[in-house]
Amino acid sequence: MEPTMPTDEHDSLLVTVVEDDRLLREMLQQVITVWGFRVQTASSGEEGLEVLCLRPAPILLTDLVMPGKGGVWLVREVRKRFPETIALVLTGQHESEPAIECLNAGALRYLLKPPCLHDLRNALNVAAELVNLRRERASYQEDLERTVRRQTQRIRRLSLSGIKSLNIALEARDPYTSGHSQRVRRYSLALGKALGLERRTLRKLALAACLHDIGKVAIAESILNKPGRLTVDEHRTIQRHPVLGEKILRPIIRNREVLGAIRGHHERMDGKGYPDGLSGEQIPLLARIISVADCFDAVTTIRPYRGALSLSETAALLNELAGSQLDPHIVAAWLKLIKGAVDAAPGPREAFREALTAPTGRP
């Protein structure tokens, strides 16, 4: 039956009336409509559930004893499927057992038939107040959660911006590594796209690649820029930077893939890397990608103790490291990209770099 239109203050609330007695059902529909509710009706427990499934209502008024499934069954089903719906039960039985059974099933109140209209209206008003309070509470909770999310995101953006500034300061300490993180980011993105990573994963890869060496901010400049051979202790200190980077970023970046890539970018395929001695596919994919990009940038950039390798020398070195230090599948993809970039820009090295990573765009 179509719901009747409201005339009073409860015009946003729909009441489902389930009653097998047609005359009583129609009387309840008319009276409850006058009180300002919308009404939809059913003549049995099964039909009542069907009506509610088609059009959920915040208030249920049901008879207790009906042919087929009764009111207790209906209240239990509604409780399971629509836990926010408030149930009121009508019955002609005066025993206490049915009342207790209904309340245990989840009904708010038990009313005798024929219902006292004053009591029925009070019960419906109480139910309406509960519905409105729940809605207000849910709305307040949603607003609060939205505000918290916005503020948390703002704090993280500000914190991440500060971390990226630290990264710039880190590279400024060593002119030979200036721009390293951004180049590794561009190379990693080019690799990620060649490997068919989805956009969301590319964003994680870009962030991890940009910040992969952030842990070095906690390492003394005298060790980072030492011109001679490092001592065993100094080498161990340098090897701590992936773990330090993860610790620095964990309060700001909650994503495990990003943190795992930063922690794992110095792991090796043969298990001889650091900090965890992971091997093969135990090493996160993003870490394996960054490792290839990091290695490529390191050997093609001029350092105080050596010159930059040529592209042919770099390709030979990457092939040599494939399978032991680097993922051979990713190395093969990178060498294919290098060949394409050389064909596109056979001139100066910077033109080659641009051809290798263009168009980068936003991941």
Residues with a catalytic annotation lie at: 216
DSSP string computed for 286-325? HHHHHHHHHHHHHHTS-BTTB-PPPHHHHHHHHHHHBTTT
* Contact (Cβ atoms closer than 8 angstroms) between residue 178 and residue 213: no
Whether residue 5 contacts residue 34, with contact meaning beta carbons closer than 8 Å, is answered with no
The candidate with the shortest Cα–Cα distance to 244, out of 221, 265, 219, is 219
What gap in Å lies between CA 284 and CA 277, rounded to an integer? 12
**What angle do helix axes 328-344 and 311-321 make, rounded to 10 degrees?**
170
Helix (H, G, I), strand (E, B) or coil at 110: strand
What ranges in 195-310 are assigned the alpha helix state H?
Answer: 199-210, 221-224, 232-238, 241-249, 256-264, 285-299
Q: Which residue has the tokens 């509470």?
A: 137
Contacts of 231 (CB under 8 A, 6+ apart): none
Give the Cα-Cα-Cα angle 133, 136, 139 (nearest 5 degrees): 150
